[in-house]
Amino acid sequence: MDHELRKRGTRRDAFLHKLGLGPVVMGILNVTPDSFFDGGRLQDVEAAVAHARKLIAEGCGIVDVGGESARPGAVPITAAEELARIEPVLASLAQAVDAAFSIDTSKAEVAARALELGAIAVNDVGGLQKDAEMADVVAAAEAIVVIMHNRAEKDEAIDIVAELRRFFDASLRLADRAGIPRDRIILDPGIGFGKTSRQNRDAIARLPELKDYGLPILVGASRKAFLGSLMEDRAEASLSGTIAVNLAAAAAGASIFRVHEVAEHVAALKVFHAIRQGQT
């Protein structure tokens, strides 16, 4: 057990170190039947492991494993159902691949089991506010947590950055009380979650207004529907639109990008970072 804890800690620290060196790509591995873009494609363990290998080979810094769709209108599932989906995949990945993994969940029970199986981070779409035990689970495992902003309903009247700050302040208080160190916290504005198309765009354009938190920012805009409103052909699931929004987010201060297509983003962000750093 001590060996596994040390190995997980080493992977965690290596991932955190990467964040200080340049953009990091998080590859999406959904083992769900109903995710909005890739639902049903990777429910078989062998297929999921093969896809994880592909994401890693293409250069992602961490693989984000999800067992429940968070898309609008998705039917909620129990922790037992979610665990049935992710446990065999994580167990196989732990044996087959030497890489960093995170668990995309809002349930503390699921997060705890994923961390036992080797995940180094919890990507919490509930931002520590949906499950009262989540912060304690993260703290006990000495894991990284991604605090994602989420709203139950859209409200076009609100100032989205003021709302982000209100939410993050509440979540950070929960993290502090649980004893999660600030250097293991990542913020995510929750693109596509309870926001209008305009608010999604504003959240990305105004990321610099979150810099005073001093925390890394993750953006998960891959294949999101709001991209269609920015393109003449309304190609809502376009790769080109996803790359464009992620480069805009990188320019605004984001450092982690949760995507379906890893190779294309690694290449685009490498060029972006080289130019930003004045390299040739």
* Residues known to be catalytic: 224, 258
- Please name the residue that has the structure tokens 């290449």: 267
For residues 37 and 39, what is the distance between their CA atoms, to the nearest angstrom? Answer: 6
3 state SS of 140 = helix
Query: Closest Cα to residue 160, out of 169, 173, 149, 146?
Result: 149
Q: What is the Cα gyration radius of the chain?
A: 17
Q: Which residues, 6+ apart, have CB-to-CB distance to 279 below 8 Å? A: none
Query: Closest Cα to residue 196, out of 153, 230, 164?
Result: 153
Measuring CA to CA, how many Å separate 180 from each of 42, 105, 165?
Answer: 33, 18, 19
